[in-house]
Amino acid sequence: MIVTIVAKTRQRGGACVGGITADGRSVRLIAPDAAFNEHHNLEYEVGQRWEIDADPPREIIPPHVENVIVRHKRRLAPAGDLVGLIEEHMPPRVGGPEALYEGLLRVGAHGALYVGRDGIPPGIPPYSTTFWRPDRPLRRDTSGKRLHYRYPTDDGGRSLTFVGFQEPPAEIPAGTLVRVSLAHWWRPEEWLEEELRCYVQLSGWIEDAPLPGRSPSLGEGGVEDPLPNPLPQGEGTRSPSLWEGLGEGS
């Protein structure tokens, strides 16, 4: 299958990579060596196209139904209209966070958004990755241990952990095409009596134009390259104070 990369999310020392197939399916590319290769999936970049042979995993745990295990891959010429591809096959939700994930999101401590396995409202969304055009700007919040973006509300805002590779601007303007995902099921050890949760993460954004404070990135040529390029030196480096404690991406 042909897959266009639309998201690259931090996952320990490697990356969790999301794509859209030529027939419009959302997929998450799982490296076969992810369990022992700490730098898995770093060869992928948003906007690239790959020809991929993949198998479904032995077990699929909703809402993470997009997983496929990559067996072979070959890099192709990059995508042309990435925004158009997303708009056609994964039309973004528009509005506030209540527009996301079938209205099943709940609000936790400090405004964190999550899906719970139990409780009210009940139910698990049938997917874990989606796109969103927020109707208000998302503002960077570095007050906690992790880097967040906050959607403003009258009761303090809604918070999404940022787990992408892009340089985080102070503000992501309203209407920007952003990609969000649900982290894996999790709860702190001290919450053994509490339900498992999937927290909402901000994976990144697709830029029609450079965001304030950022320089345009250089595009790639259209020449086929069957070999993945290594991650450029310094790619993804961040201030430790902003990135300390980042968990698994999705």
What CATH architecture applies to the domain 2-83+213-232? Beta Barrel (2.40)
DSSP lists the bridge partners of residue 14 as: 11
In terms of DSSP H, where are the helices of the chain?
Answer: 82-89, 240-243
With contact defined as beta carbons under 8 Å apart, do 5 and 42 qualify? no
pLDDT for residue 145: 85
Q: What amino acid is encoded at 49 in this protein?
A: R
With contact defined as beta carbons under 8 Å apart, do 247 and 13 qualify? no
The three-state secondary structure class of 141 is strand
pLDDT for residue 122: 62
Domain extents in the chain = 2-83+213-232, 91-206
Closest CA to 137 of 203, 72, 70, 205: 205
Closest CA to 165 of 232, 237, 218: 237
Q: Which residues of the chain have pLDDT under 50?
A: 209-249
pLDDT for residue 119: 55
pLDDT for residue 242: 35
